[in-house]
A and B are shown apart, each in its own frame.
Chain A
């Protein structure tokens, strides 16, 4: 099958009310071209699952400023004042989640797990409403998987099979989100008809449904 599609074809699949996972860490390694196309499309009532809410003028922050999310699940929103404003004024529901818990909730979804136990958040507000399970004398929180309709991720390079490699610290949430949503779309700087070296490829193409090329 041909996984390479245009950015327009990619974002046309995303509908009002969808749940999106978007890769990147403070916009580093975010699928910037897919985000810009989604800003232009103006899709509303989306749920965002992302490490942070970016900056007002870059990355997922542009979607926040454009008021396209009704819910944001993130570990950090401090670099985008608009997210804090929308949260405090009740316009957008913001669920703050510890970064490691967020990554693992996403990973559970990809790996077919029903949840996991973590000490992170025990005795804090993060514990509210969650089951506390004691194992061998240590208390853990039961954290459940996070599912999404689309994972929009970024990689340095893809081959036509969807196998991916990353560069620098751009891997962050991208390879975790690959395969964690119903549909995974990757934006890449380089695309190759030739297969990547199977010893080097970091994300298996089985997790990737579509590839778009995005220039920087």
Chain B
């Protein structure tokens, strides 16, 4: 599977987790693609942490407003029913549990639901932006990422990189399957039929608990 196909596949599967009426915040990169696959029968309101809910698609060249951008600084639109607010209100919405779901990428995630996605000491130090608040504050946290990074494991027994948040991840969606984080450990709930359980386990450091009703991962 090529990279773009893998990313679209993961985004499509994450979109199935959306519920009618959800307020959702998508991280930059792969998670942004989820917006393209919102089921037509579900009204979802996207929150943009730079200060609005009702995030809409990219405008045409003629309709760009330089003051309406997403949290990555790219031009976007605001939908009917959306509203602008300041950063204190934006993070009140986030910390206060008014965001139903956040979807983020990760450098590492572990079996305790810890996530590392904001720095590699001495190398990459972009900063956490709003990620720490989002992961701690959102009602549900989904990590959407490729299962491994060029072969090196990303789903670990314990994250080695500085944590973005501790014990907050609920679900991990990769091209190999869907994994739920529980007190007992990581449960493989769905598997992409292109892979065997052994292959998924080999790409995952902690021992996976295989769900009794293991399903095929479908999008």
Contact = CB atoms under 8 A, between A and B. Distances in A.
Size bin of chain B's contact surface: 35 or more
Nearest to A100: B91
Residue with the greatest number of chain B CB neighbours at <10 A, chosen from A77, A98, A171, A174: A98
A118 interface: yes
A107 B125 contact: no
B87 A120 contact: no
Contacts of A103: 86-88, 90-91
Contact of B67 (A74, A102, A106, A168): A168
Given A25-B50, A28-B50, A76-B128, A104 B162 contact: no
Interface in A38-89: 51-52, 74-79, 84, 87-88
A103 B162 CA distance: 23
Contact of A107 (B88, B122, B126): B88
Contacts of A74: 127
A173 B132 contact: no
A106 B91 CA distance: 13
Given A169-B68, A174-B86, A27 B73 contact: yes
B27 interface: no
Contacts of A176: 86-88
Interface residues of A, number: 47
Contact of A169 (B84, B126, B127): B84
Contact of B87 (A51, A77, A119): A51
Interface stretch (B163-171, B187-195, B199-207): B163-171
B88 A120 contact: no
Interface string A109-123: 000000000111111
Contacts of B166: 122-124
A74 B127 CA distance: 8
Contacts of B114: 123
Interface string A154-185: 00000000000011111111111000000000
A29 B85 CA distance: 13
Given A26-B73, A171-B84, A100 B126 contact: no
B81 interface: no
Interface string B86-118: 111011001100000000000000000010000
Contact of A170 (B67, B72, B88, B164): B67
A99 B126 contact: no
A99 B91 contact: yes
B88 A26 contact: no
B49 interface: yes
A126 interface: yes
A196 interface: no
B21 interface: no
Task: Choose among A75, A78, A100, A106 the residue with the greatest number of B CB atoms under 10 Å from its CB.
Answer: A100
A84 B189 CA distance: 40
Contacts of B49: 99
A168 B65 CA distance: 8
A101 interface: yes
A179 to B, nearest CB: 12
A27 to B, nearest CB: 7
Interface string A124-140: 11100000000000000
13 contacts: A25-B71, A28-B69, A28-B73, A75-B129, A78-B126, A98-B131, A100-B87, A119-B95, A120-B132, A123-B166, A168-B68, A169-B50, A171-B86
Interface of B: 48-52, 65-69, 71-73, 78, 84-88, 90-91, 94-95, 114, 119, 122, 125-133, 136-137, 162-167
